[in-house]
């Protein structure tokens, strides 16, 4: 994997990467670095989830183990486009 370090600084003192995403630091540094090597993405298939209590899309708190009642479950975490 090639680390993307291309970008240009804007007038607002932010950085645009090669895809046009804007962030507070130069691409290829710190939190905007590309993961290399082993990069855990979550529990393995069949591994029990830890206890998770989090807000749903309506801001209602949900305990995932209670909500699934023994059935299958998909948990999606998302954040801004600038990782």
The DSSP H or E segment spanning 79 is: none
pLDDT in tens, the chain (83 residues): 566 677 888 888 888 888 888 888 777 766 555 555 565 667 778 887 788 888 887 888 999 888 888 788 777 776 655 55
pLDDT at 21: 83
User: Residue 61: what pLDDT?
Assistant: 92
| Spatial contact of 4 and 18, defined as CB atoms under 8 Å apart | yes
What 3-state DSSP class applies to 8? strand
């Amino acid at each position: 994997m090639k680390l993307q370090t291309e970008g240009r600084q804007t007038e607002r003192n932010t950085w645009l990467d090669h895809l046009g995403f804007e962030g507070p630091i130069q691409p290829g540094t710190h939190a905007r670095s590309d993961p290399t090597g082993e990069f855990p993405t979550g529990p393995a298939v069949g591994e029990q989830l830890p206890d998770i209590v989090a807000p749903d899309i309506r801001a209602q708190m949900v305990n995932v183990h209670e909500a699934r009642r023994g059935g299958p479950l998909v948990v999606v975490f998302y954040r801004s486009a600038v990782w």
